[in-house]
Structure 1
Amino acid sequence: MQHTLTLHLVSEATGQTLDSVARACIAQFPNTEVKLRHWNMIRTQIQLRRVLRNIAADRGPVMSSLTDPALQADMEAGCISLQVRLLDVLDSALHFLADETGQKATGHPGGQYIMDDSYYQRIEAMHYVLSHDDGQETGGLNEADVILVGVSRVSKTPTCFYLANRGIKAANVPLVMGIEPPATLFETTKPVIGLTLDPERLIEIRRNRLTQMMPDRRPMENAADYAYIDLEKVQEELHWARRLCRRHNWPVIDVTHRSIEESSAAILELMESR
Protein backbone atom coordinates (compact mmCIF):
# COMPACT_ATOMS: atom_id res chain seq x y z
CA MET A 1 0.00 0.00 0.00
CA GLN A 2 1.39 3.39 -1.02
CA HIS A 3 1.60 6.01 1.73
CA THR A 4 2.02 9.74 1.21
CA LEU A 5 3.78 12.17 3.51
CA THR A 6 4.77 15.83 3.51
CA LEU A 7 8.16 16.29 5.16
CA HIS A 8 9.29 19.81 6.06
CA LEU A 9 13.04 20.51 6.10
CA VAL A 10 13.99 23.61 8.08
CA SER A 11 17.57 24.83 7.79
CA GLU A 12 19.50 27.93 8.80
CA ALA A 13 21.78 27.63 5.75
CA THR A 14 21.52 26.16 2.24
CA GLY A 15 19.75 23.00 3.40
CA GLN A 16 22.08 20.67 1.45
CA THR A 17 23.07 18.59 4.48
CA LEU A 18 19.50 18.23 5.67
CA ASP A 19 18.28 17.35 2.19
CA SER A 20 20.96 14.65 1.84
CA VAL A 21 20.05 13.10 5.20
CA ALA A 22 16.34 13.15 4.37
CA ARG A 23 16.79 11.61 0.93
CA ALA A 24 19.11 8.89 2.27
CA CYS A 25 16.44 7.94 4.80
CA ILE A 26 13.51 8.21 2.38
CA ALA A 27 15.23 5.76 0.03
CA GLN A 28 14.69 3.07 2.68
CA PHE A 29 10.89 3.43 2.46
CA PRO A 30 9.99 2.67 -1.18
CA ASN A 31 6.27 2.31 -0.40
CA THR A 32 5.99 5.88 0.85
CA GLU A 33 5.67 8.88 -1.45
CA VAL A 34 7.37 11.78 0.34
CA LYS A 35 6.88 15.39 -0.71
CA LEU A 36 9.79 17.48 0.52
CA ARG A 37 9.24 21.11 1.40
CA HIS A 38 12.45 23.07 1.91
CA TRP A 39 12.69 26.09 4.20
CA ASN A 40 16.26 27.38 3.96
CA MET A 41 18.19 30.34 5.37
CA ILE A 42 15.87 30.57 8.39
CA ARG A 43 17.70 32.84 10.83
CA THR A 44 15.09 35.12 12.41
CA GLN A 45 11.88 34.68 14.41
CA ILE A 46 9.94 36.41 11.61
CA GLN A 47 11.19 33.88 9.08
CA LEU A 48 10.43 31.01 11.45
CA ARG A 49 6.86 32.19 12.04
CA ARG A 50 6.33 32.19 8.27
CA VAL A 51 7.62 28.61 8.12
CA LEU A 52 5.29 27.53 10.92
CA ARG A 53 2.30 29.05 9.11
CA ASN A 54 3.19 27.02 6.02
CA ILE A 55 3.57 23.86 8.09
CA ALA A 56 0.13 24.49 9.54
CA ALA A 57 -1.28 24.81 6.00
CA ASP A 58 0.38 21.60 4.79
CA ARG A 59 0.78 19.44 7.86
CA GLY A 60 3.61 16.99 8.17
CA PRO A 61 6.59 16.11 10.34
CA VAL A 62 9.59 18.41 10.51
CA MET A 63 13.32 17.76 10.27
CA SER A 64 15.39 20.69 11.47
CA SER A 65 19.09 21.61 11.48
CA LEU A 66 18.81 24.92 13.36
CA THR A 67 21.69 25.62 15.74
CA ASP A 68 20.57 28.94 17.25
CA PRO A 69 19.17 28.01 20.72
CA ALA A 70 16.39 30.64 20.60
CA LEU A 71 15.23 29.51 17.16
CA GLN A 72 15.44 25.88 18.24
CA ALA A 73 13.19 26.60 21.21
CA ASP A 74 10.68 28.50 19.06
CA MET A 75 10.70 25.69 16.48
CA GLU A 76 9.99 23.10 19.18
CA ALA A 77 7.22 25.20 20.73
CA GLY A 78 5.62 25.79 17.32
CA CYS A 79 5.62 22.09 16.45
CA ILE A 80 4.11 21.19 19.82
CA SER A 81 1.38 23.75 19.21
CA LEU A 82 0.68 22.34 15.74
CA GLN A 83 0.92 18.75 17.04
CA VAL A 84 3.48 17.72 14.44
CA ARG A 85 6.61 15.72 15.19
CA LEU A 86 10.00 17.42 15.15
CA LEU A 87 13.44 15.85 14.72
CA ASP A 88 16.54 17.96 15.28
CA VAL A 89 19.09 16.07 13.15
CA LEU A 90 22.11 17.88 14.62
CA ASP A 91 21.18 17.61 18.28
CA SER A 92 22.65 14.15 19.01
CA ALA A 93 25.82 14.83 17.00
CA LEU A 94 26.39 18.19 18.72
CA HIS A 95 25.92 16.68 22.18
CA PHE A 96 28.25 13.82 21.25
CA LEU A 97 31.01 16.19 20.09
CA ALA A 98 30.50 18.50 23.05
CA ASP A 99 31.04 15.55 25.40
CA GLU A 100 34.12 14.39 23.48
CA THR A 101 35.75 17.83 23.17
CA GLY A 102 34.65 19.28 26.48
CA GLN A 103 33.56 22.39 24.60
CA LYS A 104 30.20 23.99 23.96
CA ALA A 105 28.87 24.36 20.40
CA THR A 106 28.95 27.98 19.24
CA GLY A 107 25.46 27.89 17.67
CA HIS A 108 26.78 29.95 14.76
CA PRO A 109 24.45 29.65 11.73
CA GLY A 110 26.03 28.22 8.58
CA GLY A 111 29.36 27.64 10.29
CA GLN A 112 30.38 25.07 7.67
CA TYR A 113 30.15 27.67 4.89
CA ILE A 114 33.29 29.75 5.26
CA MET A 115 35.57 31.11 2.56
CA ASP A 116 38.72 29.38 3.73
CA ASP A 117 41.51 27.64 1.79
CA SER A 118 39.31 24.64 0.97
CA TYR A 119 36.64 26.95 -0.45
CA TYR A 120 39.11 28.59 -2.82
CA GLN A 121 40.51 25.17 -3.67
CA ARG A 122 37.02 24.14 -4.85
CA ILE A 123 36.71 27.30 -6.93
CA GLU A 124 40.12 26.67 -8.52
CA ALA A 125 39.17 23.05 -9.22
CA MET A 126 35.95 24.17 -10.91
CA HIS A 127 37.85 26.57 -13.18
CA TYR A 128 40.27 23.75 -14.02
CA VAL A 129 37.44 21.38 -14.99
CA LEU A 130 35.85 24.02 -17.21
CA SER A 131 39.08 24.57 -19.14
CA HIS A 132 40.05 20.87 -19.34
CA ASP A 133 36.70 19.30 -20.20
CA ASP A 134 36.36 16.88 -23.10
CA GLY A 135 40.01 16.89 -24.12
CA GLN A 136 40.60 20.65 -23.98
CA GLU A 137 44.00 22.01 -22.95
CA THR A 138 45.69 18.59 -22.90
CA GLY A 139 49.01 20.33 -22.32
CA GLY A 140 47.89 21.02 -18.76
CA LEU A 141 47.14 17.41 -17.77
CA ASN A 142 50.02 17.34 -15.31
CA GLU A 143 48.22 20.01 -13.30
CA ALA A 144 45.32 17.63 -12.70
CA ASP A 145 44.75 15.58 -9.56
CA VAL A 146 43.13 12.87 -11.70
CA ILE A 147 42.38 12.31 -15.40
CA LEU A 148 39.25 10.44 -16.50
CA VAL A 149 39.13 8.71 -19.88
CA GLY A 150 36.37 6.86 -21.71
CA VAL A 151 34.24 6.79 -24.81
CA SER A 152 31.52 9.36 -25.44
CA ARG A 153 28.65 9.62 -22.90
CA VAL A 154 30.04 7.55 -20.02
CA SER A 155 29.53 10.43 -17.52
CA LYS A 156 33.08 11.81 -17.57
CA THR A 157 32.03 15.48 -17.47
CA PRO A 158 29.43 15.33 -14.65
CA THR A 159 31.81 13.19 -12.60
CA CYS A 160 34.58 15.77 -13.06
CA PHE A 161 32.30 18.57 -11.90
CA TYR A 162 31.26 16.58 -8.84
CA LEU A 163 34.91 15.96 -7.99
CA ALA A 164 35.64 19.68 -8.46
CA ASN A 165 33.06 20.41 -5.79
CA ARG A 166 35.25 18.28 -3.52
CA GLY A 167 38.30 20.35 -4.46
CA ILE A 168 39.68 17.80 -6.94
CA LYS A 169 41.13 19.05 -10.23
CA ALA A 170 39.77 16.51 -12.70
CA ALA A 171 40.46 16.55 -16.43
CA ASN A 172 38.71 14.27 -18.89
CA VAL A 173 39.94 13.01 -22.23
CA PRO A 174 37.55 11.28 -24.68
CA LEU A 175 38.66 8.00 -26.23
CA VAL A 176 37.67 7.83 -29.89
CA MET A 177 38.36 4.59 -31.73
CA GLY A 178 40.58 5.25 -34.74
CA ILE A 179 41.98 8.49 -33.30
CA GLU A 180 45.19 8.43 -31.29
CA PRO A 181 44.77 10.04 -27.83
CA PRO A 182 47.02 13.05 -27.12
CA ALA A 183 50.63 12.15 -26.34
CA THR A 184 50.47 14.04 -23.03
CA LEU A 185 47.98 11.43 -21.76
CA PHE A 186 50.68 8.76 -21.95
CA GLU A 187 53.39 11.01 -20.55
CA THR A 188 51.57 12.34 -17.49
CA THR A 189 52.56 11.28 -13.99
CA LYS A 190 49.03 11.87 -12.69
CA PRO A 191 46.54 9.02 -12.13
CA VAL A 192 44.47 8.08 -15.19
CA ILE A 193 41.18 6.23 -14.59
CA GLY A 194 38.88 4.82 -17.24
CA LEU A 195 35.08 4.88 -17.07
CA THR A 196 32.96 2.32 -18.88
CA LEU A 197 29.27 1.47 -19.21
CA ASP A 198 27.04 -1.40 -20.26
CA PRO A 199 26.66 -1.10 -24.07
CA GLU A 200 22.85 -1.20 -24.08
CA ARG A 201 22.67 1.48 -21.41
CA LEU A 202 25.23 3.55 -23.32
CA ILE A 203 23.17 3.28 -26.52
CA GLU A 204 20.08 4.46 -24.62
CA ILE A 205 21.96 7.52 -23.32
CA ARG A 206 23.40 8.29 -26.76
CA ARG A 207 20.04 7.90 -28.46
CA ASN A 208 18.48 10.37 -26.02
CA ARG A 209 21.38 12.75 -26.63
CA LEU A 210 20.85 12.62 -30.40
CA THR A 211 17.13 13.29 -29.94
CA GLN A 212 17.85 16.33 -27.76
CA MET A 213 20.40 17.71 -30.22
CA MET A 214 18.33 17.06 -33.34
CA PRO A 215 14.65 16.75 -32.31
CA ASP A 216 13.44 16.97 -35.92
CA ARG A 217 15.67 14.19 -37.19
CA ARG A 218 15.46 10.50 -36.41
CA PRO A 219 18.68 8.82 -35.23
CA MET A 220 20.44 6.56 -37.72
CA GLU A 221 19.58 8.76 -40.71
CA ASN A 222 23.29 8.91 -41.54
CA ALA A 223 26.32 6.65 -41.09
CA ALA A 224 27.74 8.60 -38.15
CA ASP A 225 24.49 8.31 -36.18
CA TYR A 226 24.31 4.61 -37.00
CA ALA A 227 27.81 3.87 -35.70
CA TYR A 228 27.14 5.96 -32.59
CA ILE A 229 24.22 3.79 -31.45
CA ASP A 230 24.71 0.45 -33.23
CA LEU A 231 25.11 -2.33 -30.65
CA GLU A 232 27.89 -4.19 -32.43
CA LYS A 233 29.90 -1.03 -33.08
CA VAL A 234 29.38 0.26 -29.53
CA GLN A 235 30.56 -3.07 -28.10
CA GLU A 236 33.65 -2.88 -30.31
CA GLU A 237 34.27 0.70 -29.18
CA LEU A 238 34.00 -0.24 -25.50
CA HIS A 239 36.28 -3.27 -25.92
CA TRP A 240 38.86 -1.11 -27.69
CA ALA A 241 38.78 1.44 -24.84
CA ARG A 242 39.18 -1.30 -22.22
CA ARG A 243 42.15 -2.78 -24.07
CA LEU A 244 43.77 0.65 -24.25
CA CYS A 245 43.33 1.13 -20.50
CA ARG A 246 44.66 -2.34 -19.77
CA ARG A 247 47.69 -1.74 -21.98
CA HIS A 248 48.62 1.35 -19.96
CA ASN A 249 47.64 -0.09 -16.55
CA TRP A 250 44.83 2.42 -16.09
CA PRO A 251 42.15 1.08 -13.72
CA VAL A 252 38.60 1.03 -15.09
CA ILE A 253 35.35 1.71 -13.20
CA ASP A 254 32.06 0.37 -14.54
CA VAL A 255 29.53 3.14 -13.84
CA THR A 256 26.47 1.28 -15.16
CA HIS A 257 24.89 0.84 -11.74
CA ARG A 258 26.64 3.69 -9.96
CA SER A 259 25.44 7.21 -9.30
CA ILE A 260 27.83 10.10 -9.93
CA GLU A 261 28.46 10.20 -6.18
CA GLU A 262 29.29 6.48 -6.05
CA SER A 263 31.56 6.70 -9.09
CA SER A 264 33.38 9.65 -7.50
CA ALA A 265 33.81 7.74 -4.24
CA ALA A 266 35.39 4.86 -6.17
CA ILE A 267 37.70 7.31 -7.97
CA LEU A 268 38.80 8.91 -4.69
CA GLU A 269 39.47 5.45 -3.25
CA LEU A 270 41.68 4.57 -6.23
CA MET A 271 43.51 7.88 -5.89
CA GLU A 272 44.20 7.23 -2.19
CA SER A 273 45.40 3.67 -2.81
CA ARG A 274 47.76 4.96 -5.48
Structure 2
Amino acid sequence: MSHRVINLHLVSDSTGETLNSMARATLARFEDHHVIHHRWSLIRSRLQLDRVLEGLQHEPGPVLFTLVDRSLRHGLEESCERLGVPCLSVLDQVVDLLQGQLGARAREKRAAQHVMDADYFRRIDAMHYVLSHDDGQGTAGIAEADVCLVGVSRSSKTPTCFYLANRGIKAANVPIVPNATLPQELDEPPCPVVGLTIETNALIEIRRHRLRLIGASGVRQDTNDYVDHDSVKAEILAARRLCSQHGWPVIDVTRRSIEETAATVLQLMEAWHVRRGRAPGAAPEDPAAAVLGVSQPRLEPRE
Protein backbone atom coordinates (compact mmCIF):
# COMPACT_ATOMS: atom_id res chain seq x y z
CA MET A 1 0.00 0.00 0.00
CA SER A 2 1.42 3.35 -1.05
CA HIS A 3 1.79 6.06 1.55
CA ARG A 4 -0.50 9.01 1.04
CA VAL A 5 -0.25 12.56 2.31
CA ILE A 6 -3.46 14.51 2.91
CA ASN A 7 -4.49 17.82 4.43
CA LEU A 8 -7.02 17.57 7.25
CA HIS A 9 -8.86 20.75 8.24
CA LEU A 10 -10.35 20.93 11.75
CA VAL A 11 -12.78 23.84 12.01
CA SER A 12 -14.33 24.79 15.35
CA ASP A 13 -16.18 27.74 16.86
CA SER A 14 -14.64 26.84 20.22
CA THR A 15 -11.21 25.69 21.37
CA GLY A 16 -11.07 22.74 18.97
CA GLU A 17 -10.31 20.22 21.73
CA THR A 18 -13.13 17.90 20.65
CA LEU A 19 -11.94 17.78 17.05
CA ASN A 20 -8.30 17.35 18.06
CA SER A 21 -9.17 14.40 20.31
CA MET A 22 -11.33 12.72 17.69
CA ALA A 23 -8.74 13.21 14.96
CA ARG A 24 -5.94 11.91 17.18
CA ALA A 25 -7.93 8.82 18.21
CA THR A 26 -8.93 8.03 14.63
CA LEU A 27 -5.62 8.73 12.92
CA ALA A 28 -3.82 6.45 15.38
CA ARG A 29 -5.25 3.63 13.26
CA PHE A 30 -3.55 4.90 10.09
CA GLU A 31 0.11 4.69 11.04
CA ASP A 32 1.49 4.41 7.50
CA HIS A 33 0.00 7.64 6.20
CA HIS A 34 0.97 11.24 6.78
CA VAL A 35 -1.71 13.77 7.67
CA ILE A 36 -1.06 17.51 7.75
CA HIS A 37 -3.36 19.12 10.32
CA HIS A 38 -4.82 22.57 9.74
CA ARG A 39 -6.47 23.70 12.98
CA TRP A 40 -8.96 26.55 12.80
CA SER A 41 -10.36 27.43 16.22
CA LEU A 42 -12.71 30.15 17.50
CA ILE A 43 -14.31 30.59 14.07
CA ARG A 44 -17.31 32.77 14.95
CA SER A 45 -17.73 35.28 12.13
CA ARG A 46 -17.94 35.28 8.35
CA LEU A 47 -14.60 37.09 8.16
CA GLN A 48 -12.94 34.33 10.18
CA LEU A 49 -14.61 31.66 8.04
CA ASP A 50 -13.31 33.37 4.90
CA ARG A 51 -9.75 32.79 6.16
CA VAL A 52 -10.58 29.11 6.59
CA LEU A 53 -11.99 28.90 3.06
CA GLU A 54 -8.92 30.61 1.65
CA GLY A 55 -6.68 28.09 3.39
CA LEU A 56 -8.90 25.25 2.22
CA GLN A 57 -8.67 26.45 -1.37
CA HIS A 58 -4.85 26.57 -1.26
CA GLU A 59 -4.47 23.22 0.54
CA PRO A 60 -7.63 21.20 -0.13
CA GLY A 61 -8.46 18.21 2.02
CA PRO A 62 -11.25 16.68 4.11
CA VAL A 63 -12.92 18.92 6.68
CA LEU A 64 -14.14 17.98 10.15
CA PHE A 65 -16.07 20.71 11.90
CA THR A 66 -18.07 21.68 14.97
CA LEU A 67 -19.95 24.86 14.12
CA VAL A 68 -23.22 25.79 15.79
CA ASP A 69 -24.05 28.91 13.77
CA ARG A 70 -26.19 27.78 10.83
CA SER A 71 -24.99 30.43 8.41
CA LEU A 72 -21.36 29.50 9.06
CA ARG A 73 -22.17 25.80 8.66
CA HIS A 74 -23.90 26.40 5.36
CA GLY A 75 -21.09 28.62 4.10
CA LEU A 76 -18.51 25.96 4.91
CA GLU A 77 -20.56 23.10 3.45
CA GLU A 78 -21.29 24.98 0.22
CA SER A 79 -17.62 25.88 -0.23
CA CYS A 80 -16.53 22.28 0.38
CA GLU A 81 -19.06 21.04 -2.18
CA ARG A 82 -17.79 23.57 -4.71
CA LEU A 83 -14.16 22.53 -4.09
CA GLY A 84 -15.03 18.84 -4.18
CA VAL A 85 -13.70 18.02 -0.69
CA PRO A 86 -15.60 15.93 1.88
CA CYS A 87 -17.04 17.79 4.86
CA LEU A 88 -18.39 16.27 8.09
CA SER A 89 -20.03 17.74 11.20
CA VAL A 90 -18.71 15.27 13.77
CA LEU A 91 -21.33 15.82 16.48
CA ASP A 92 -24.52 15.77 14.40
CA GLN A 93 -25.22 12.04 14.73
CA VAL A 94 -24.71 12.12 18.50
CA VAL A 95 -26.92 15.20 18.85
CA ASP A 96 -29.65 13.61 16.71
CA LEU A 97 -29.55 10.42 18.77
CA LEU A 98 -29.84 12.28 22.08
CA GLN A 99 -32.58 14.57 20.80
CA GLY A 100 -34.60 11.48 19.89
CA GLN A 101 -34.02 9.87 23.29
CA LEU A 102 -34.55 13.01 25.35
CA GLY A 103 -37.40 14.40 23.32
CA ALA A 104 -35.85 17.86 23.35
CA ARG A 105 -33.99 20.07 20.92
CA ALA A 106 -30.31 20.79 21.55
CA ARG A 107 -29.47 24.42 22.25
CA GLU A 108 -27.61 26.26 19.52
CA LYS A 109 -24.93 27.41 21.92
CA ARG A 110 -21.25 27.28 21.04
CA ALA A 111 -18.57 26.35 23.59
CA ALA A 112 -21.29 25.13 25.94
CA GLN A 113 -18.80 22.81 27.65
CA HIS A 114 -16.44 25.68 28.51
CA VAL A 115 -18.64 27.73 30.82
CA MET A 116 -17.19 29.20 34.01
CA ASP A 117 -19.44 27.26 36.36
CA ALA A 118 -18.83 25.38 39.61
CA ASP A 119 -17.09 22.54 37.78
CA TYR A 120 -14.72 24.99 36.11
CA PHE A 121 -13.68 26.56 39.41
CA ARG A 122 -13.33 23.11 40.96
CA ARG A 123 -10.78 22.25 38.25
CA ILE A 124 -8.89 25.49 38.92
CA ASP A 125 -8.90 24.77 42.64
CA ALA A 126 -7.61 21.25 41.96
CA MET A 127 -4.75 22.66 39.86
CA HIS A 128 -3.72 24.97 42.71
CA TYR A 129 -3.90 22.01 45.09
CA VAL A 130 -1.62 19.86 42.93
CA LEU A 131 0.93 22.67 42.69
CA SER A 132 0.95 23.03 46.48
CA HIS A 133 1.13 19.29 47.22
CA ASP A 134 3.51 18.00 44.58
CA ASP A 135 6.33 15.63 45.48
CA GLY A 136 5.52 15.42 49.18
CA GLN A 137 4.96 19.13 49.78
CA GLY A 138 2.40 20.21 52.34
CA THR A 139 1.70 16.71 53.65
CA ALA A 140 -0.74 18.08 56.21
CA GLY A 141 -2.96 18.99 53.25
CA ILE A 142 -3.44 15.31 52.38
CA ALA A 143 -6.52 15.53 54.60
CA GLU A 144 -8.12 17.58 51.80
CA ALA A 145 -7.02 15.27 48.98
CA ASP A 146 -9.37 13.20 46.84
CA VAL A 147 -6.55 10.74 46.13
CA CYS A 148 -2.86 10.36 46.96
CA LEU A 149 -0.34 8.80 44.60
CA VAL A 150 2.84 7.23 45.94
CA GLY A 151 5.83 5.80 44.11
CA VAL A 152 9.54 6.05 43.49
CA SER A 153 11.03 9.10 41.85
CA ARG A 154 10.15 9.56 38.13
CA SER A 155 7.24 7.10 38.13
CA SER A 156 4.83 9.63 36.53
CA LYS A 157 3.19 10.80 39.75
CA THR A 158 3.26 14.52 38.94
CA PRO A 159 1.92 14.42 35.35
CA THR A 160 -0.81 12.01 36.45
CA CYS A 161 -1.81 14.38 39.25
CA PHE A 162 -2.05 17.30 36.83
CA TYR A 163 -4.16 15.26 34.45
CA LEU A 164 -6.48 14.35 37.32
CA ALA A 165 -6.65 18.01 38.37
CA ASN A 166 -8.04 18.81 34.94
CA ARG A 167 -10.90 16.50 35.91
CA GLY A 168 -11.40 18.39 39.16
CA ILE A 169 -9.54 15.84 41.31
CA LYS A 170 -7.35 17.09 44.16
CA ALA A 171 -4.43 14.70 43.83
CA ALA A 172 -1.49 14.76 46.22
CA ASN A 173 1.65 12.77 45.52
CA VAL A 174 4.29 11.49 47.90
CA PRO A 175 7.63 10.03 46.79
CA ILE A 176 8.82 6.75 48.24
CA VAL A 177 12.47 7.43 49.05
CA PRO A 178 14.90 4.71 50.20
CA ASN A 179 15.49 4.79 53.98
CA ALA A 180 12.91 7.55 54.45
CA THR A 181 9.60 7.17 56.27
CA LEU A 182 6.29 8.14 54.77
CA PRO A 183 4.42 11.09 56.30
CA GLN A 184 2.25 10.12 59.26
CA GLU A 185 -0.83 11.37 57.39
CA LEU A 186 -0.66 8.14 55.37
CA ASP A 187 -0.90 5.93 58.46
CA GLU A 188 -4.67 6.34 58.33
CA PRO A 189 -5.27 8.10 55.00
CA PRO A 190 -8.57 9.93 54.57
CA CYS A 191 -8.60 9.19 50.85
CA PRO A 192 -7.61 6.39 48.47
CA VAL A 193 -3.87 5.83 48.14
CA VAL A 194 -2.57 4.37 44.88
CA GLY A 195 0.98 3.23 44.19
CA LEU A 196 2.67 3.73 40.82
CA THR A 197 5.44 1.39 39.77
CA ILE A 198 7.53 0.95 36.64
CA GLU A 199 9.97 -1.58 35.18
CA THR A 200 13.61 -1.18 36.19
CA ASN A 201 15.14 -0.55 32.76
CA ALA A 202 12.44 1.92 31.78
CA LEU A 203 12.92 3.88 35.01
CA ILE A 204 16.70 3.97 34.60
CA GLU A 205 16.34 5.40 31.10
CA ILE A 206 13.92 8.08 32.33
CA ARG A 207 16.24 8.99 35.18
CA ARG A 208 19.29 9.20 32.91
CA HIS A 209 17.36 11.50 30.63
CA ARG A 210 16.42 13.60 33.65
CA LEU A 211 20.06 13.86 34.71
CA ARG A 212 21.02 15.03 31.24
CA LEU A 213 18.30 17.67 31.29
CA ILE A 214 19.44 19.14 34.60
CA GLY A 215 23.08 19.13 33.53
CA ALA A 216 24.16 16.30 35.77
CA SER A 217 25.85 14.37 32.99
CA GLY A 218 29.12 14.59 34.87
CA VAL A 219 27.80 12.25 37.55
CA ARG A 220 29.32 8.81 37.17
CA GLN A 221 26.18 6.89 36.34
CA ASP A 222 27.77 3.52 36.97
CA THR A 223 28.23 4.41 40.64
CA ASN A 224 25.17 6.63 41.11
CA ASP A 225 22.43 4.75 43.02
CA TYR A 226 19.85 6.88 41.22
CA VAL A 227 20.53 5.01 37.97
CA ASP A 228 22.42 1.91 39.15
CA HIS A 229 20.50 -1.17 37.98
CA ASP A 230 20.66 -3.17 41.20
CA SER A 231 19.90 -0.12 43.36
CA VAL A 232 16.93 0.92 41.24
CA LYS A 233 15.57 -2.63 41.16
CA ALA A 234 15.80 -2.84 44.96
CA GLU A 235 14.15 0.57 45.28
CA ILE A 236 11.21 -0.52 43.14
CA LEU A 237 10.79 -3.79 45.03
CA ALA A 238 10.89 -1.99 48.37
CA ALA A 239 8.23 0.45 47.19
CA ARG A 240 5.97 -2.38 46.06
CA ARG A 241 6.40 -4.17 49.39
CA LEU A 242 5.50 -0.96 51.20
CA CYS A 243 2.30 -0.60 49.19
CA SER A 244 1.47 -4.26 49.79
CA GLN A 245 1.95 -3.85 53.55
CA HIS A 246 -0.54 -0.97 53.56
CA GLY A 247 -2.98 -2.68 51.21
CA TRP A 248 -2.61 0.01 48.55
CA PRO A 249 -3.26 -1.02 44.93
CA VAL A 250 -0.36 -0.61 42.53
CA ILE A 251 -0.49 0.38 38.87
CA ASP A 252 2.38 -0.51 36.55
CA VAL A 253 2.83 2.57 34.35
CA THR A 254 5.62 1.15 32.16
CA ARG A 255 3.46 0.81 29.04
CA ARG A 256 0.62 3.06 30.05
CA SER A 257 0.01 6.58 28.91
CA ILE A 258 -0.76 9.25 31.49
CA GLU A 259 -4.39 9.17 30.34
CA GLU A 260 -4.65 5.40 30.90
CA THR A 261 -3.02 5.64 34.32
CA ALA A 262 -5.40 8.43 35.35
CA ALA A 263 -8.40 6.42 34.14
CA THR A 264 -7.31 3.49 36.28
CA VAL A 265 -6.83 5.77 39.29
CA LEU A 266 -10.40 7.03 38.82
CA GLN A 267 -11.67 3.45 38.78
CA LEU A 268 -9.81 2.69 41.99
CA MET A 269 -11.22 5.84 43.61
CA GLU A 270 -14.71 4.73 42.65
CA ALA A 271 -14.18 1.26 44.09
CA TRP A 272 -12.73 2.77 47.30
CA HIS A 273 -15.88 4.83 47.87
CA VAL A 274 -18.16 1.89 47.08
CA ARG A 275 -16.36 -0.30 49.61
CA ARG A 276 -17.04 2.33 52.24
CA GLY A 277 -20.73 2.28 51.51
CA ARG A 278 -20.93 5.63 49.76
CA ALA A 279 -22.54 5.28 46.39
CA PRO A 280 -20.93 7.26 43.59
CA GLY A 281 -22.55 10.65 43.34
CA ALA A 282 -24.07 10.48 46.84
CA ALA A 283 -21.89 13.35 47.95
CA PRO A 284 -21.89 16.41 45.66
CA GLU A 285 -18.25 17.07 46.37
CA ASP A 286 -17.22 13.58 45.32
CA PRO A 287 -15.29 14.01 42.03
CA ALA A 288 -15.28 10.27 41.44
CA ALA A 289 -18.99 10.57 40.66
CA ALA A 290 -17.95 11.57 37.14
CA VAL A 291 -16.74 8.01 36.49
CA LEU A 292 -19.39 5.83 34.91
CA GLY A 293 -19.60 2.31 36.28
CA VAL A 294 -17.33 0.34 38.54
CA SER A 295 -14.94 -2.25 37.15
CA GLN A 296 -11.84 -3.89 38.45
CA PRO A 297 -8.88 -2.30 36.65
CA ARG A 298 -6.06 -4.40 35.32
CA LEU A 299 -3.01 -3.57 37.38
CA GLU A 300 -0.41 -5.84 35.81
CA PRO A 301 1.79 -4.60 32.96
CA ARG A 302 0.12 -4.53 29.57
CA GLU A 303 1.38 -6.80 26.81
Identify whether the pair has TM-score above 0.5, normalized to the shorter chain: yes
- Does the 8 A contact of 1:211 with 1:219 survive in 2? no
More helix by share: 1
Q: Does 1:220 align with 2:204?
A: no
1:222 to partner: Cα distance: 8.4
Report how many residues are paired: 271
Match of 2:282 in 1: none
Match of 1:250 among 248, 253, 270: 248
Which 5+ residue runs of structure 1 have no aligned equivalent? none
Q: C-alpha distance in 1, partners of 2:38/2:74? A: 21
Q: Does 1:231 align with 2:229?
A: yes
Q: Secondary structure at the match of 2:42?
A: coil
Q: C-alpha distance in 2, partners of 1:59/1:48? A: 15
Which 5+ residue runs of structure 2 have no aligned equivalent? 273-303
Q: Deviations over 1:96-148 (max 9, x none)?
A: 11212222222111111111111111011111101000000001101000000
Deviates more, 1:168-177 or 1:65-74: 65-74
Match of 1:204 in 2: 205
Q: Secondary structure at the match of 1:59?
A: coil
1:218 to partner: Cα distance: 3.5
Q: C-alpha distance in 2, partners of 1:220/1:165? A: 39
- TM-score, normalising length from structure 2? 0.87
Q: Deviations over 1:206-233 (max 9, x none)?
A: 0000000006x3342685xx11111111
Q: Secondary structure at the match of 1:106?
A: coil
- Does the 8 A contact of 1:228 with 1:234 survive in 2? yes
Match of 1:143 in 2: 144
Match of 1:15 in 2: 16
The aligned amino acid for 1:230 is: D
Q: C-alpha distance in 1, partners of 2:69/2:102? A: 20
1:75 to partner: Cα distance: 0.9
Q: C-alpha distance in 1, partners of 2:211/2:140? A: 30
Q: C-alpha distance in 2, partners of 1:21/1:220? A: 45
Match of 1:261 in 2: 259
Q: C-alpha distance in 2, partners of 1:94/1:113? A: 18
Q: C-alpha distance in 2, partners of 1:106/1:44? A: 19
The aligned amino acid for 1:81 is: R
Identity, % of aligned positions: 50
Q: Does 1:162 align with 2:163?
A: yes
Mapping 1:68-79, distance limit 5 Å: 68-79=69-80
> For the aligned residues, what is the CA RMSD?
1.2
- Does the 8 A contact of 1:122 with 1:166 survive in 2? yes
